Amino acid sequence: MKRYIIAITGASGSILGINITKELLINNEVHLIISNHAFDVINSETEFIWQSVNIDEIKQYFNSDRLFIHDTNNQSAPISSGSFITDGMFIVPCSMKTLSAVANGYANNLITRAADVIIKEGRRLLIAPREMPFSAIHLENMSRLSRIGVIIAPPNPAFYHNPKTIDELIGYMTGKMLDLMGVANKHFKRWE
């Protein structure tokens, strides 16, 4: 069984991070961190009314023994250390603030610390930066990370698969991100 970290930060598109967590849990151990600001976005964009103080409700939703949820303020969680082996990390969606912190090694919470560890240990990191439009600062931060091998996968939909619903658009983006990290899934269909 593989082991992945997923962080959901306070950018729009939290449903993508929730769906990736669900998909990863099918075959993998998953360490989930939800930033304080992500809770606001989850509550305003999705059907979930989740609170940082009520982790049990989130655990109940995913209903898996393979899921470990960490408080973003807990820098002494196992994923804070390089000695805790993982197969990679997703930051989906990624706010411009977290992008900037990761690009500059500013490990001020568990999400940015875990990403810093992934980079220093040479493991795979996928970031889904969400903003519109991107400023030169945002692009420079992405470029900096891309040059060291971080996968920059913004949540851009594609239309060549003729989506009819928002769920299909979300499914494509979820599947593509998992595929980029080598995680087999039913959502991503290759062009034949």
Displacement of CA 146 from its chain's centroid (Å): 16
| 40 lies in the binding site for ligand FMN (CB under 6 A) | yes
Among 130, 152, 173, 188, binds ligand FMN (CB under 6 A): 130
How many residues touch ligand FMN (CB under 6 A)? 16
- Amino acid letter, residue 60: Q
* Residue 98 Cβ vs ligand FMN, minimum distance, rounded to whole Å: 4
Q: Which stretch binds ligand FMN (CB under 6 A): 3-11, 63-71, 151-159, 169-177?
A: 3-11
Contact 21/32 with Cβ under 8 angstroms?
Answer: yes
* Residue 10 Cβ vs ligand FMN, minimum distance, rounded to whole Å: 3
Query: Token pair for residue 129?
Result: 């930066």
Phi, psi of 57 (to 5 degrees): -65, -40
Could you give the count of Cα atoms lying within 13 Å of 67 in the half-sphere of its Cβ?
23
User: Distance between CA atoms of 140 and 8, rounded to whole angstroms?
Assistant: 22
**In this complex, which beta carbon is closest to ligand FMN, that of residue 8 or of residue 25?**
8
Q: How many other CB atoms are found less than 10 A from the CB of residue 23?
A: 20
Site string (88-127) toward ligand FMN, x via CB under 6 A: -------xxxx-----------------------------
Query: Token pair for residue 74?
Result: 């807990």
Whether a cis peptide bond, with omega within 30° of 0, leads into 163 is no
Q: Which stretch binds ligand FMN (CB under 6 A): 38-46, 49-57, 146-154, 169-177?
A: 38-46
Binding to ligand FMN in span 66-95, by CB under 6 A: 95
Residue numbers of the site for ligand FMN (CB under 6 A)?
Answer: 9-12, 35, 37-38, 40-41, 44, 95-98, 130-131
